[in-house]
Amino acid sequence: MNPKDPSKLDRIVADARQAADKRDEGYREQALKIYPWICGRCAREFTRANVRELTVHHRDHNHHNNPPNGSNWELLCLYCHDNEHQKQLELAGGGGQSGNGGKRGNVATHSPFADLKALLGNKPKDGG
């Protein structure tokens, strides 16, 4: 590919986007026909008016794995889908305590009750 030919690169990018859009439409439409319009996590129900907020999640996180029986898909609302991918990012990045060698990472170090006993000890003892 000649790096001085931007029109060729633009065509390649446009073709890739078109193919991705076509692939997305294909499995989304199939999943909406196979499964009830209910989020697989929070059980929120969807209608034609809000079905655009229902997404197809690939269980194995491989968007190219689209068996016609839908066994790699589940329908999730936008929020649950984002949450599912955030969990995957945290696992991949060692976000869990067991996944990062026991290091605690960015956690709070301030203890708001550290001097509670001392503070309560200085309380005046009056009857009321």
Q: Provide block-wise average pLDDT over 10 residues at a time, the chain (128 residues).
A: 73 87 79 95 96 95 90 96 92 64 57 76 64
Query: 37: which 2 tokens?
Result: 């319009």
Determine the pLDDT at residue 112.
72
Domain 6-96, CATH among 3.40.1800, 2.60.120, 3.30.420, 3.30.70? 3.40.1800
List, in order, residues 6 or more apart from 19 with CB less than 8 Å away.
none
Please state whether the predicted TM-score (pTM) of the whole model is above 0.95: no
| Predicted local confidence at residue 105, as pLDDT | 54
Give the largest CA-CA distance in the chain.
89
Domain boundaries, the chain: 6-96
